[in-house]
Every structure is written in structure tokens, then in C-alpha cells.
Amino acid sequence: MKLKIIKKIVKTPCYRCDGSGDYQNKRLNKSVVCKICHGTGKYSETHFYHIFIDKKGNKYCLDGDTAK
């Protein structure tokens, strides 16, 4: 059985600050920078696709957060 790993980075609007780069309560404290996206407004998440190929050529894919 062979194993092939594909790494994919998905960027979405930040779930904490909703893409604005600051916390939702930014009116109260404008100097606070979001710790999730670091003020960019984009959250990066890494996915690893593990593709298993058996001796007959059938392919099976699993999604994971790590390459292990």
C-alpha cells in the first residue's frame, strides 16, 4: 500500500474578529490586535490529505490536521 500526502492551506475570514482585523469590541479598545489572525483579518488553517493506494489501484483519502 502506498501513501501520498497533500498539504493544503485554507484561508478564511477570522472567526474571532470576523475579518476586520480587530476584536468585535474594537470601539472600546482600538489598540488591541486579534491574537488569532494578528490583525490580518484572515485565519490560516492547514489540512493534510492522506491518500492511500492499494495494490489494485484503488484510492482512499482521509483528511487530517497533521501529517502523521
Range of the domain at 36: 2-64
Higher pLDDT, 67 or 58: 58
pLDDT for the residue 14: 84
pTM across the whole model? 0.62
How many Cα atoms occupy the beta-carbon half-sphere of 48 within 13 Å? 10
Counted domains in the chain: 1
Cβ atoms of 25 and 18 within 8 Å: the answer is: no
